[in-house]
Amino acid sequence: MAICKALAEAGAAVGVGYNASAEKAEALLGALPGGGHMALRIPVTDSAALSEAIAAVDKRHSRLDLLVNSAGITRFVPHGDLDALDDALISRILDVNVRGVIASVRAALPLMRRSGGGAIINISSIAGVTAMGSNIAYCASKAAVDNLTKSLARALAPEIRVVSVSPGLVDTEFLRGLDQSWRNEQAGRTPLRRLAAPEEVAQAVLAVGTSLTFMTGSILAVDGGRPLG
């Protein structure tokens, strides 16, 4: 939500992607400033649906300048409990978090090239660097996203830039539903002694898309210095 709002406030026509929550996407559209916004069903594991979504953007706007890959999935599993990290969960995490990025870029690439280039921003996580996170498959998936960012940046240059925005723990509605003492502990392990605000991640995305125009293949940390703790 915060990313969509920041981009809309900057004057972009925003495609709000969703998998199953169409009502939430439509509600967000009504809250965005500006015009030209669209709600798009984008299940990242469905390549045909991805192509349909890009076709809808092409039909309405005839261009695509910025792609933000933010879909992700996880579940809390202790790192040492490999039995609880079942095959179905591993496959689902890698399918959404890694293959979904590749499939989304593949679908968007022709329109971005016809638009004269642009930027692709992959929402990663410091879990890909620290190997600490909700489970080991999730950590591995985010390390893979950072690696994909570098490979894609090399492959798609100079027309298209590719950057990972890599947050630490973000104070989202999901995290607010977790135990407060755990949240306080996580904030205490961060040099800045707090969690990231969603708006701070959104501003990083906006900066990469509009201002940091000589950046590609980079991993932009928005983590409050957490790996230093």
Regarding predicted confidence, which is higher, 50 or 189? Answer: 50
Residue 90 lies in a domain: yes
- Give the residue carrying structure tokens 């605000």: 197
pLDDT digits (tens, 9 = 90+) for 131-142: 999 999 999 999
Residue 58 lies in a domain: yes
Model pLDDT, residue 181: 83
pLDDT tops 80 at residue 205: yes
Distances (CA, A) of 182 to 134, 173, 186: 13, 15, 6
Taking the C-alpha atoms of residue 2 and residue 156, their distance in angstroms, rounded to an integer, is 27
pLDDT tops 80 at residue 74: yes
- Mean pLDDT of the region 163-183: 84
Residue 47 lies in a domain: yes
What secondary structure letter does DSSP report for 227? G
pLDDT digits (tens, 9 = 90+) for 82-129: 999 999 999 999 999 999 999 999 999 999 999 999 999 999 999 999
Q: Which two tokens stand for residue 189?
A: 């392990």
Model pLDDT, residue 186: 85
pLDDT tops 90 at residue 172: no
State the burial class of residue 107 (Cβ atoms within 10 Å of its Cβ: 0-12, 13-18, 19+).
buried
pLDDT tops 90 at residue 210: yes
Contact 2, 202 (CB under 8 A): yes
CATH code for the domain in which residue 163 is found: 3.40.50.720
Taking the C-alpha atoms of residue 117 and residue 157, their distance in angstroms, rounded to an integer, is 9
Q: Give the helix/strand (H/E) hosting 122.
A: strand 118-123
Percent above pLDDT 70 for the chain: 100
Residue 120 lies in a domain: yes
* Residue 225, helix vs strand vs coil: coil
Taking the C-alpha atoms of residue 207 and residue 191, their distance in angstroms, rounded to an integer, is 23
- Mean pLDDT of the region 6-31: 95
Model pLDDT, residue 53: 97
- Mean pLDDT of the region 193-217: 96
CA 192 to chain centre: 23
- Give phi and psi for 7, each to the nearest 5: -70, -40
Residue 229 lies in a domain: no
Q: Residues with catalytic annotation?
A: 138
Global pTM reads 0.95
Number of domains making up the chain: 1
State the burial class of residue 209 (Cβ atoms within 10 Å of its Cβ: 0-12, 13-18, 19+).
buried
pLDDT tops 80 at residue 2: yes
Confidence of residue 73 (pLDDT cuts 50, 70, 90): very high
* Residue 221, helix vs strand vs coil: strand
Residue 164 lies in a domain: yes
pLDDT tops 80 at residue 175: no
Percent above pLDDT 90 for the chain: 87
Other CB atoms within a 10 A radius of the CB of residue 88 amount to 8
The range of the structural domain enclosing residue 8 comes to 2-223
